[in-house]
Every structure is written in C-alpha cells, then in structure tokens.
Amino acid sequence: MFTLEIDGVAVAMTDADEAEAREIFDSEDFKADLAEFTTDGKPVWNGKSPFTIRPATEDEEDLFDDSLEADEDDEDEDGASVVFLVMVDQFDDEFDDEDE
C-alpha cells in the first residue's frame, strides 16, 4: 500500500503496487480532482505543491481497511482502491452549479 502526501499531509492511499500508485496519483484526472476537492474550505491541492508517494504506515493501512469496509465502490478501472485520508467537504462551485 502506498500513501500520497502533499505538504507533509497524508491525503490519499491505494492498495496498488508502487508503479501503479504512481500512475494513479500522477494522472491528470486525479490531479484535477485534488485541485477541485476542498477540505476545511481550502483546496486539497494547490496545483503547485509536489507529491510524495511513500509506503503506507500501519495506522494508515488500518484506516484504509476500515474505509473499504464502509464503502466498497472506490475501485478504479484497474481494480486498485483509492481512499482519501482527509475529509473532503465539498467540490468546487462548478459542480454545485451543475446540480441546479
């Protein structure tokens, strides 16, 4: 399992192997999502800070397992699961406007 850190904060993790984790976290779609998601009213990613991809800690692995038990629909098309470790509180206003 591998964790994505941004500015020293563990943001997301995956059960993919290292190469696949890098492919997922470095994808333009994933980066676009991170720039649109907010936590505490701020973007999860500012579009500039570098990513650190590292092996997950035991505590993170426990959180990952608990999260998958609660929601089994977080698999990407390759079968790897991705779980956010930060609370994503809302999407960018662009998504809110589409719902109206």
What is the value of pTM for the model shown? 0.78
Considering only residues 25 and 68, tell me which one the structure prediction assigns the higher pLDDT.
25
Considering only residues 33 and 73, tell me which one the structure prediction assigns the higher pLDDT.
33
Q: Are 14 and 1 in contact (CB under 8 A)?
A: yes
Considering only residues 15 and 73, tell me which one the structure prediction assigns the higher pLDDT.
15
6 closest CA partner among 88, 89, 91, 86: 86
Question: Taking the domains of the chain in order of start, what are their residue ranges?
Answer: 2-99
Residue 1 has pLDDT above 80, yes or no: yes
- In three-state secondary structure terms, 64 is helix
Residue 73 has pLDDT above 60, yes or no: no
* Residues ≥6 apart with Cβ < 8 Å to 90: 37, 38, 96
Residue 97 has pLDDT above 80, yes or no: no
**What element of type H or E holds 82?**
strand 82-84
> What is the pLDDT averaged over residues 5-16?
96
Q: Are 12 and 83 in contact (CB under 8 A)?
A: yes
